[in-house]
Amino acid sequence: MLELYQTEWCPYSHRVRQKLTELGLDFIAHQVPPSRSQREAMREAVGADVIPVLVLDDGTVLDQDADDIVAELDQRYAANEHTPEHHERRVEARMFEP
């Protein structure tokens, strides 16, 4: 199972969650404290304190920039029959953002 260390308010975490949804990948979301200084448990688990961090099924830790994580997901996982519709709805939802 994929594991995402993230917060709901983080736009970078949001970008990774959207890609996981578009690819139809199940994941566990770990909510982390807002301050880096409070993320000792996360540092012990994945060796990083900057979000987002995605841990793949094989134990690979992706703790780069969100765009790099998304690119890695695109390389490792194929799109499915729902990917285009998820993407389209994401684009439509942006029209309603303030």
Question: Residue 11 has what pLDDT?
Answer: 95
Domains in the chain: boundaries: 2-94
Does pLDDT of 92 surpass 80? Answer: no
Superfamily covering domain 2-94: Glutaredoxin (3.40.30.10)
Question: Residue 98 has what pLDDT?
Answer: 60
Which phi and psi (to 5°) does residue 62 adopt? -105, 105
Does pLDDT of 83 surpass 90? Answer: no
What pLDDT, in 10s, does the model give residues 17-70? 999 999 999 999 999 999 999 999 999 999 999 999 999 999 999 999 999 999
What's the pTM?
0.87
